A and B are shown apart, each in its own frame.
Chain A
Amino acid sequence: MIRDATEIDIKTRGEFARDNYLSEHTVRSWLLTTDHKRIGLLYLGTILIFFLIASVAAALMRIELLTPQPKLVTSETYNKLFTIHGVLMVWFFLIPSIPTVLGNFVLPMMIGARDVAFPRLNLMSWYIFVAGGALALWSLIHGGVDTGWTFYTPYSTTYANSHVISMAAGVFVAGFSTIVTGMNFMVTTHKMRAPGLTWFRLPLFVWSLYATSLIMVLATPVLAITLALISVERFWGVGIFDPKLGGDPVLFQHLFWFYSHPAVYIMILPGMGVISELITCFSRKRIFGYAWVGCASMAIAILGFLVWGHHMFVSSQSVYAGMIFSILSFLVAVPSGIKVFNWTATLRKGAIHFATPMLYALGFIGLFTIGGLTGLFLAALAVDVHVHDTYFVIAHFHYIMVGGMVMAFMGGLHYWWPKISGRLYPEFAGKLAAMITFIGFNLTFFPQFILGYLGQPRRYHVYPPEFQIFHVLSTAGASILGIGYLMPLIYFIWAWRHGRVAGPNPWRATGLEWQTTSPPPKHNFKETPIVTGPPYMYSAEKDVDLNLASI
């Protein structure tokens, strides 16, 4: 069995570890660090900047959409706004979010390692990411891009009058940072596990990061070559997507979605891993069907490579190909369903603590289920033809990416915050923010399902007056959602210095990362832990006096 966490807890409760990874304060010590924990925090700061810029773009769009006729921005500006929002949110926030911040911070600790396998490459991946981000911002400052985040040809290669090459170059460069991170995580998981930590004793978050890394290393290079090809074609005036030569613009869509559909799973699998950690800890119960949940992550990663054609049902793809892609897309629901059912089965007869991370986790289950089920509508050929490129699609993937991934990211950030900073965030404010986020999110995106079903196409800022009520509701929801995101930013900054001292294991959780001090020392453990049993050895009976919702 993993050493009894509570026993250590009692010994050192309430101590703020003086010997920790944050002890050095110079700028140099941060910019040249190879410590996975510090690199996680560097990523946190960086992706936060991109999240803010992309959120401002979203806010401007929502304000514009309050009225059926354009009042605030021109059509061209609107096109640039949704492109900025999409590009930055996808490649500079969601894809790096959980893997590079929480994954970097806890993966080595979860497997009892002193660091990732390649610490210098880890730092290099951050610098590559920053370089890619700088290129994207350069493109933005010089006037932005109006192609949408999908860069469809021939518009992107021939007709667009915006800064496509620099933006594509930014994404191209950032892609290499993703590849390096994925490679690093895979090797770390294979080669750096503590003695006794067999594959089926790994925490489920590690399984999900491994599945994510597999997608990162296999899908991202295809995006890289595709973006390189459109950049060269745009620059050279000729290329393989060029119909003048007999080239096929639809080939671009195939290549793009061969990456971008698996990338959707980069944007949800890590979230699922976080939720598995949270659900079991705050139910004080072992996870239901451990091996099924772990293998479901791998199944989603593998199936994810076989379903890209469901983005192309209406782009001249043969109807037989469409049918195959439709069936394969339905198959993804099986492992996703296994996860949802196993989480809910874990809750059953558990001693549930409604602490902040758990509120996010429960929100995740509900929102992910709605997002997943509407995904099935879209996987059905006939329904997709009706709602293709409408707000229905927008609402669907925001339920997955924002309702799923961002909720999981927030939940994970709250859960590991005591480990990261050594201090607790204010619990009441946390719960409030979680609930505001949940309400704001639903008010923002649920009306968009109705809008899409009624026929409002995506990427338009002019719409018939009868749709106005739904747009007003959505904008109102977005402002509430904004408050839900702003609150944690404020109280996390406050808690960094003034929060109550957390001690090594405030949640009395079982993972190896909770067996070391908070904040952890530079090499994570005073001595390498030895693992002798399965993860999640929670027991509600042992913790009867525990109240995690008001620690």
Chain B
Amino acid sequence: MSISISPASEPFVGEQFDDIEQQRDAAKLGMWIFLATEVLFFGGLFLGYTIYRFTYGHVFVEASRKLDVLIGGTNTAVLLISSLLMAFAVRAAKLDQRRALVGLLAGTALLGCVFMSLKAVEYHKDYVDHLVPRMGFKWEGADPGNAELFYWIYFAMTGLHAIHVTVGIAIMLVLALLAWLGKFAHGNHNAVEIAGLYWHFVDIVWVFLFPLLYLVGHR
């Protein structure tokens, strides 16, 4: 095996790799490891939620009822559909369908924006309803401190998730631009594939957040 850089017929292989296969495997493994770190990053908050839900279960149920299930539910559907588009986008990249790829990536980004817009509306509504800790928080029921704790966790978890969605939207837009320029041709769809993994991860986090935050109060 020689050190020489791969021939021109196989573009975009980093000089540290022997072939595109090795490069693709490495990128995928790297992304999976990164997602494992993300699981643990969110894990701290999930642990906090679990402990306080166990300790102050009743108040958490009460507090959860004040969240807007309609917006939360709509957002769940929006993210799930965006993930579907993302999965199609990866397939389009593999089949070298440039126009479909651009459209699907842009569609994914668009649904991400819809999610963020609905989230903004919801945050505003929470503020008007005095549910934001430290910013005019008011609670009529028992144990206002514990209720405030619930909303603090709600804002921390959905806020951290929203940051991830924003990053995801930016990645999708950049990828859509690159796809439009034809950068993912000739089996060089690595970037689309690993960005897809990231987007699905962000989606799955929301799939856990939605029932934990919005549905615990509903029978």
Q: Do A and B bind each other?
A: yes
Docked complex Cα distance between A530 and B37 (Å): 34
Which B residues are in CB contact (< 8 Å) with A302? none
A222, B33: Cβ atoms closer than 8 Å: no
A240 touches B156 (CB 8 A): yes
Q: Is A246 an interface residue (CB 8 A)?
A: yes
Interface majority SS (helix, strand, loop, mixed), chain A: helix
CA distance A186 to B29 in the complex (A): 9
Binding site for A on B (CB under 8 A): 1-3, 14-16, 22, 25-26, 29-30, 33-34, 36-38, 40-45, 47-48, 51-52, 55-56, 133-134, 143, 145-146, 148-149, 152-153, 156
Nearest Cβ on chain A to B22's Cβ, whole angstroms: 6
CA distance A280 to B37 in the complex (A): 35
In the assembled complex, A18 has its CB within 8 A of some CB on chain B: no
Q: Any chain B CB within 8 A of the CB of A498?
A: no
Q: Is the CB of A218 within 8 A of B52?
A: no
Q: List 6 A-B contacts (CB under 8 A).
A: A218-B36, A220-B37, A221-B40, A222-B44, A240-B48, A248-B51
Q: Which of A115, A192, A217, A527 contacts B33 (CB 8 A)?
A: A217
Q: A187 to chain B: which residues have CB within 8 Å?
A: 26, 29-30, 33
Min CB gap B46→A, angstroms: 10
Q: Is A240 touching B134 in the complex (CB atoms < 8 A)?
A: no
The docked-state distance in angstroms from the alpha carbon of A498 to that of B148 is 67
Q: How far is the CB of B92 from chain A (nearest CB, A)?
A: 26
B41 touching A225, Cβ below 8 Å? yes
Q: Are A246 and B56 interface neighbours, CB within 8 A?
A: yes
Please give me the residue from chain B that is nearest to A241 by CB atom: B48
Q: Is the CB of A247 within 8 A of B52?
A: yes
Question: Contact between A229 and B16 (Cβ–Cβ < 8 Å)?
Answer: no
Interface 1/0 per residue, A52-73 and B, CB below 8 Å? 0000000000000000000000
Residues of A within 8 A of B (CB): 113-119, 179, 182-184, 186-187, 190-192, 195, 217-222, 224-226, 229, 232, 236-240, 242, 244-248, 251, 254-255, 523, 525-528, 530
Contact of B48 among A182, A184, A224, A251 (CB under 8 A): A251
> Are B52 and A240 in contact, CB atoms less than 8 angstroms apart?
yes
Distance in angstroms from B195 CB to nearest chain A CB is 15
**Closest CB in chain A relative to B147 CB, distance in Å:** 9
Whether B26 lies near A255 (C-beta < 8 A) is: no
Q: Evaluate contact between B25 and A183: CB separation under 8 angstroms.
A: no
| Chain A residues within an 8 Å CB radius of B1 | 195, 527-528, 530
What is the bound-complex CA distance between A187 and B26, given in angstroms?
Answer: 6
In this complex, what residue of B is CB-closest to A190? Answer: B29
**Measured CA separation A186–B52 after assembly (Å):** 36
Chain A nearest Cβ from B1, distance in angstroms: 5
Q: Is there contact, CB below 8 Å, between A191 and B44?
A: no
